[in-house]
Amino acid sequence: MNPMTRFDSQIDDIAEDALAVLERHRLDGAADCAELLVRLEQAKAEAHRKIAAQVEAIYRAGCDDAVQAERRMEARVRTAVLVIVVAVVAALSVLALVLRLDAQQFTLYLAPVTGMAGTVLGYWFGAAGRRTR
């Protein structure tokens, strides 16, 4: 049963409880309206408590879902960037072999790529480890 169906069901239960209180009061033949008002106020307070609890539960479930979706998206982006960096380094290595570059020239091409990639990946993975959500 989804949260909104439960919420609707609880509202129906509250309404039925209020009607039952009124019917019992009528059947008791009590002429004192003060007791009826107290019962109705108690039923009203209980209804507010139930509704607030249900709304809070729905809100928390939505927040949890949003946080999980955000974390999945962050992981996908990190994975994509990591795959791209590895592919670029591998492609540069193959290119250096094909062009028969010596090690010093190859390092000139590869150093900026690995430096930027290390900075970005180090920050992202470090930030993910420090997260306290």
Q: Which domain holds residue 73?
A: 3-130
Q: What is the pLDDT of residue 64?
A: 92
Number of domains present in the structure of the chain: 1
Q: What is the pLDDT of residue 34?
A: 63
pLDDT tens, residue order, the chain (133 aa) = 666 667 667 777 777 777 777 777 766 665 565 666 677 778 777 877 887 888 888 889 999 999 999 989 988 888 888 888 888 888 888 888 888 888 887 888 788 878 887 887 787 777 766 664 4
Whole-prediction pTM: 0.52
Number of Cβ within a 10 Å radius of residue 44: 12
Alpha carbon distance 80, 124 (integer Å) = 12
Burial of 85 (0-12, 13-18, 19+ CB in 10 A): middle
Backbone angles phi, psi at 69, to 5 degrees: -65, -40
Q: What is the pLDDT of residue 31?
A: 57
